Every structure is written in structure tokens, then in C-alpha cells.
């Protein structure tokens, strides 16, 4: 398979990228970034794209790909609903539209977050916006689509958060990782990446994947 990845400079996207590069079933990866990743790999191609609000000129680059793993996201802290929607819903809509124009038989995966509000009517702003974003993708008409409602993610290897205060939290929790990995409410960076790949290989009825579902999807052969 050939896959597109966004957000590969962040912890979630890097987790997905690492697994895709290591998996024999993935033949090519197109990483969409604002800057170079600084990684050399025979499978890896990069598309440096400056305007994430408009992917219309990227449609030709997306043709021939089987899946898009949209792992890019921003925090809602310090943002009102209009600004958060711009960087969440608007960017995702533009990306999904371009992917669909390139190949409607693509699998489109989006990383939202646990407690995302699919009704779009709840009191929590970020959950409403992400719910609206999920619904747009699910109703777009792709061959398949999965909403990764990621909760607690345990980083492995060189995977780390780009947010400085997250790094301190992870450092403090490191001694507890072996125990936490056994809990279904936690997932790991490798399991997350494997689950992304397996959604393309194993279709299922459950489209909203919480951590326990992510862990189950990761084990499919």
C-alpha cells in the first residue's frame, strides 16, 4: 500500500511514520510537512506544503495513494472556537476534499481524541469542533474512514512529544510505563502506528476507535 501522513513532526505522526517505514506491506509514504523531516529512507517522499488551508494544488500528488493518516493537530488552549475550528476543521476539510478528489477509494483516518463529541452540541468547545471534523470525513464518501479517538499514548524509542511540558510529564511517568502498557486504556506509539496500517487491511464496522479499539486493531494479522 501507499500512504499519506500529516503531522509527522509530532509524536502521533512520528509514531505512524515509523511503523509505516518498518512495515513490509507499506511500499511508499508521502509525508506532508512545512519543513523537511531530516530523515532518509527509500520508502519516504516529502511534500513541502506551506498553505495547509488549501490542498487543491496537491491533488495530483495524492493520486495513486491508498490511505491518508491525518495525524496533525493543535491544542485548543488559548484559542477561541473560530480559531480552533480554522486549524482543526478547515484544514482537515481541505485535506479530505483533496484526497477524495485524488482517489475516493482511499481510506481516510483522522486523529481526534477521546471524549470527542459527535453530536456537535456539547458544552466543550474542542470536542464539538473535533466531532464536526469527524462527521465531515465519515460523510464524505471515502471507501472507508476511521476516527482515532486517542487517549493516553506511551512513546517508545526515539518518539517524543514536541511540547516541552508534555516531555516533563512523560519523563516523570517513565518508571510506570511497563505497568501502564498492560492497561487497555493506554496504548503505545508502536501499537498506534500498527493500528493505522491495519485499518487499510482489515475493514470493520466500528469507525470510532478508542484506545482499547486501537490496541485490538494493532494485533490483527
Question: Which pLDDT band holds residue 182 (cuts at 50, 70, 90)?
Answer: low
Structural domains of the chain ordered from first start: 2-218 (3.40.50.720)
Count CB neighbours of 24 within 10 A: 5
Tell me the per-residue pLDDT of 122-140, one tens digit each, with 9 for 90 and over.
999 999 999 999 999 999 9
Closest C-alpha among 40, 194, 219 to residue 109: 194
Please write the tens of the pLDDT for every residue from 10-42: 999 999 999 999 999 999 999 999 999 999 999
* pLDDT one-digit tens code per residue, 51-84: 999 999 999 999 999 999 999 999 999 999 999 9
Distances (CA, A) of 6 to 3, 16, 43, 57, 206: 10, 10, 16, 16, 23
CA angle 55, 72, 116 (to 5 degrees): 115
Crossing angle between the packed helical segments 125-140 and 91-102, to the nearest 10 degrees: 10
Whole-structure pTM value = 0.90
Amino acid at each position: 500500500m501507499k500512504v499519506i501522513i500529516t503531522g509527522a513532526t509530532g509524536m502521533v505522526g512520528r509514531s505512524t511514520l515509523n511503523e509505516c517505514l518498518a512495515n513490509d506491506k507499506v511500499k511508499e509514504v508521502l509525508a506532508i510537512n512545512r519543513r523537511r523531516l531530516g530523515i532518509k529512507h527509500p520508502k519516504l517522499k516529502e511534500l513541502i506544503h506551506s498553505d495547509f488551508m488549501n490542498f487543491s494544488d496537491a491533488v495530483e500528488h495524492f493520486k495513486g495513494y491508498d490511505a491518508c493518516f491525518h495525524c496533525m493537530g493543535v491544542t485548543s488552549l488559548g484559542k477561541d472556537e473560530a480559531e480552533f475550528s480554522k486549524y482543526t476543521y478547515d484544514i482537515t476539510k481541505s485535506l479530505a476534499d483533496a484526497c477524495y478528489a485524488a482517489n475516493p477509494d482511499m481510506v481516510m483516518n483522522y486523529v481526534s481524541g477521546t471524549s470527542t463529541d459527535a453530536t456537535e452540541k456539547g458544552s466543550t468547545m474542542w470536542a464539538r469542533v473535533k466531532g464536526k471534523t469527524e462527521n465531515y470525513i465519515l460523510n464524505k464518501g471515502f471507501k472507508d474512514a476511521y476516527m482515532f479517538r486517542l487517549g493516553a499514548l506511551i512513546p517508545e524509542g526515539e518518539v517524543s512529544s514536541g511540547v516541552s511540558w508534555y516531555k516533563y510529564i512523560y519523563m516523570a511517568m517513565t518508571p510506570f510505563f511497563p505497568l501502564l502498557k498492560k492497561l487497555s486504556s493506554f496504548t503505545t506509539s508502536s501499537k498506534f502506528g500498527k493500528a493505522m496500517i491495519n485499518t487499510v487491511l482489515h475493514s470493520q464496522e466500528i469507525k470510532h476507535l478508542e484506545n482499547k479499539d486501537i490496541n485490538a486493531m494493532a494485533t490483527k494479522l
